[in-house]
């Protein structure tokens, strides 16, 4: 599994700092809204597969909000 590249917001517009590669599964700490999930899916072309079987052992900052969470979600390209 790969970590998802970071996202940054400037003037209400989100951008991804890097690129995603086909054939990889990505994981991230996520405690954001449906709107945040939509930004990730539209920007990356990946789909949320759901929560990982095991959450993170300790809290990490949410990929989009920065709020601390143990929730670990998986993303990949659906064919």
Phi, psi of 67 (to 5 degrees): -70, 145
Q: How many secondary structure helices (H) and strands (E) does the chain include?
A: 1, 8
What's the pLDDT score for residue 22?
Answer: 86
Q: In whole angstroms, how large is the CA radius of gyration of the chain?
A: 12
Answer whether residue 78 shows pLDDT above 90: no
Confidence at 72, pLDDT banded by 50, 70, 90: very high
Residues 8-50 have pLDDT tens digits of: 888 888 989 888 988 899 999 999 999 999 999 999 999 999 9
The whole model's pTM is what? 0.86
Residue 72, strand partner residues: 29
Q: Which residues on adjacent β-strands are paired with residue 76?
A: 47
Domain annotation for the chain: domains and CATH numbers: 2-76 (3.30.110.30)
What does the pLDDT average to over 2-8?
A: 89
d(CA 55, CA 73): 8
């Amino acid at each position: 599994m790969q970590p998802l590249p970071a996202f940054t917001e400037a003037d209400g517009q989100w951008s991804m700092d890097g690129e995603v590669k086909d054939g990889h599964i990505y994981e991230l700490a996520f405690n954001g809204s449906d709107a945040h999930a939509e930004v990730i899916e539209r920007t990356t072309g990946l789909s949320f597969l759901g929560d990982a079987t095991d959450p993170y052992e300790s809290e990490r900052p949410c990929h989009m909000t920065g709020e601390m969470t143990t929730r670990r979600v998986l993303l990949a390209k659906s064919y």
